[in-house]
Structure 1
């Protein structure tokens, strides 16, 4: 099967798996087909799936990743102050590093809103449905919601990176408190400690807690840079830290803080 055939096959399998979406017509254009496939993957609950589905899904997602382009994070130039730190503007799901960081919610099983623009949705969509299954198993064993400021490690499945670090950042309601600042720093520290403890030497961070969690961008970046620098001063295991941004405004903030 080519990519179009695999995409349509996956859509039909998901519709069969979730009959409530069976009446949806498969669009004619590739982009609309991709949106429908992603939407169905987003809303699918964590439940067993056939090996046949996983094989076709994995082949499809890995080829899509190749076609979108993969950036080797280890080749990114370092900043002047510390060559281990890099700044990169782009799609974090395209980065090939040891682990990328997912700004998750407390349920830790991904975003269920079809094609939502959050990083949680993107990471789960391009990793494949196995990621939700692994996260669900982790949370069932834990027995409670994920606390703010901690980190969980999972495989990355069809992403170019090897692992995903999931962390829940503080949600800002009103003014930023000292506790909010401390919890955000804990997110970065926990991710680094978890990575190092598992032999991961390169990590790409998104802008945790900004966006829908409403942490102001510059203070969040200041905390991120300070926490990472403090960790690198004491721990030599990390060889590459990438601050990944998506907006020009965040790029300017990090350029100012890192150079």
Structure 2
């Protein structure tokens, strides 16, 4: 636990450390989640990276070759996107584009930033400072993946649904998928994993979101045979929806 103790001492020097490893791990993630970008000693970065990569090794890395192609250039996989080794994973970001600041929040933004390390928040802060205004819905930005197995992260802000889904909401969700795909192609990426954009905290209906996502991806891939796309689902509900849309059965996956 010495490494963990050192990391906690850097991020919260005045705090009394908890006794157990589980409590220390919980606290370390919470501190990363609420971290406001500031100068940190060089020793922090090496220790953090070692810790995160050891944790990743314990969880296990999933490679594209481990997955089954269920349609031309398309894969469906249920699991933790932070363990997926592809050229880029898609993060469902908020308009501030700096990750989730709620400790241990069960959103994909929190999960991705937690595994990537604080470098990702710094990179996003730099991009947003250069931009000078919140990220518009339906666009996309690229960063490195840092301590993720994915080489890059593509961040997009999907539409937030309050009440009925409008045509404008649908168009914005399509734009998020389209922008991610176009950015991947522009940067020469060959494999891209999508989360279920906007269906969690942003309340886009899961069925409609999947229909729009699959339609957009299928159309794009017709002219981009070099790109492979993974639909990454976490919830059983989304898995069942995509299986139905792709004409699959559980036993075939």
Smaller-chain TM-score range?
A: over 0.9
**1:55 and 2:46 correspond:** yes
- Paired with 1:236 and 1:149, the residues of 2 have a C-alpha distance of 24
SS in 1 for 2:39: coil
CA-CA distance at 1:33 after TM superposition: 1.3
- Paired with 1:118 and 1:200, the residues of 2 have a C-alpha distance of 25
Q: Which residue of 2 aligns with 1:27?
A: 18
Structure 2: runs of 5 or more not aligned: 248-253
Query: Out of 225, 246, 249, which is 1:258 matched to?
Result: 246
Matched residue count: 247
Query: Out of 58, 62, 78, which is 1:67 matched to?
Result: 58
Contact 1:204 1:241 in 2 (8 A): yes
Q: Deviations over 1:205-249 (max 9, x none)?
A: 0000001100000000001100000000122230x2110111111
Aligned 1:77-96 pairs, distance under 5 A: 77-79=68-70, 81-82=71-72, 84-96=73-85
- Paired with 1:213 and 1:223, the residues of 2 have a C-alpha distance of 16
Q: Which residue of 2 aligns with 1:36?
A: 27
TM-score (norm 2): 0.95
SS in 2 for 1:211: coil
Q: Which residue of 2 aligns with 1:13?
A: 10
- Paired with 1:167 and 1:38, the residues of 2 have a C-alpha distance of 23
- Paired with 2:20 and 2:80, the residues of 1 have a C-alpha distance of 23
- Paired with 1:243 and 1:78, the residues of 2 have a C-alpha distance of 11
**1:122 and 2:119 correspond:** no
Q: Deviations over 1:72-118 (max 9, x none)?
A: 12331111x32x11111110000000000000000000111111111
TM-score (norm 1): 0.93
Q: Which residue of 1 aligns with 2:215?
A: 226
Q: RMSD of aligned C-alpha atoms?
A: 1.0
Structure 1: runs of 5 or more not aligned: 17-21
SS in 2 for 1:255: helix
